[in-house]
Structure 1
Amino acid sequence: MNLIADVLLVGGALGAGIYCFVLARRLSRFNDLENGVGGAVAVLSAQVDDLTKTLTAAQSVANSSSGTLQELTERADGVAQRLELMVASMHDLPATQEAAPKPQAPPEAPAAPAAGDAGTANETEAPVFFRRSGS
């Protein structure tokens, strides 16, 4: 009976050893940095680092742009106030300049009719270049 118990105990130990060996190989393939989940985790970790750097750079650019925009807005407010004062002061000025009359062009003389057209054409009619004959 002891012999059967020892054989079963050795068989169980061998089975557990083979199971651990297979499990270790699967775990090493699972954590492989090129093909397994370990590689995916490593790539995602690198991407998170890159995104963090990009986000930090974008925040710094946004902060500097905000500061520049604030300065430009303050300058524009100052210019707008000065323009309002200038326009208000222009309304208080008396109208000293009168509109000067525009020089007029001398009237043109009417063109003299040609020698052969004096009696044939009416002055209100347009000259006829082509007449269609009725067919």
Structure 2
Amino acid sequence: MELIADILLIAGAIGASVYCFVLARRLNRFNNLENGVGGAVAVLSAQVDDLTRTLAAAQSASESSHAVLADLTTRAETVSGRLELMMASMHDISDAPENKFESPRATSSAVQPTVSDPDKDVMFVRRDRPKQRSA
């Protein structure tokens, strides 16, 4: 009986060693950095690092753009206020006689219709800017 137990024990040990050998080979192939999951994990880790750096650069660019846009918006609001003030002051100008020393009563009392000259009524004139050279 002892002989049978020893034979079964030796067979079990040989079976376990073959199982461990096969498992070790599969694990080595699984963790191979070129073809296995280890390689995929290494590539994904490198991509995550690249994306983290890209995101940090995009955030810094966004913050600088935000600062520039905030400054430009403030300047635009200031200029807009000044333009509104200028437009309001233009409404205060009356149609006074061209001769400063002529009294308003010296003009004829009859109301004469005035024909407006479209060239004189132009409020805004667009002038083309010279093209700037880009360096």
Q: How does the TM-score come out when normalised to structure 1? A: 0.70
C-alpha separation between the residues in 2 aligned to 1:91 and 1:6? 117
Q: Does 1:55 align with 2:43?
A: no
C-alpha deviation, 1:93, in angstroms: 1.2
Q: Give the alignment of 1:1-135 within 5 angstroms.
A: 1-96=1-96
C-alpha deviation, 1:12, in angstroms: 0.4
User: Secondary structure at 2:33's aligned position in 1?
Assistant: coil
Structure 1 or 2, whichever has the larger Rg, is 1
C-alpha deviation, 1:94, in angstroms: 2.2
C-alpha deviation, 1:95, in angstroms: 2.4
C-alpha deviation, 1:34, in angstroms: 0.3
RMSD between aligned alpha carbons?
A: 1.8
C-alpha separation between the residues in 2 aligned to 1:94 and 1:79? 25
C-alpha deviation, 1:88, in angstroms: 0.6
User: Secondary structure at 1:93's aligned position in 2?
Assistant: coil
2:123 aligned partner:
none
Unaligned runs of 5+ in 2: 99-113, 120-135
C-alpha separation between the residues in 2 aligned to 1:93 and 1:42? 76
Identity of matched residues, %: 66
C-alpha separation between the residues in 2 aligned to 1:86 and 1:49? 55
C-alpha deviation, 1:3, in angstroms: 1.0
Unaligned runs of 5+ in 1: 103-135
Cα deviation digits, residues 48-82 of structure 1 (max 9, x gap): 11111111111111111111100000000000000
C-alpha separation between the residues in 1 aligned to 2:21 and 2:64? 59
Count of matched residue pairs: 101
The amino acid of 1:21's aligned partner reads: F
Q: How does the TM-score come out when normalised to structure 2? A: 0.70
Structure 1 residue runs of 4 or more that deviate by more than 3 Å after TM superposition: 96-100
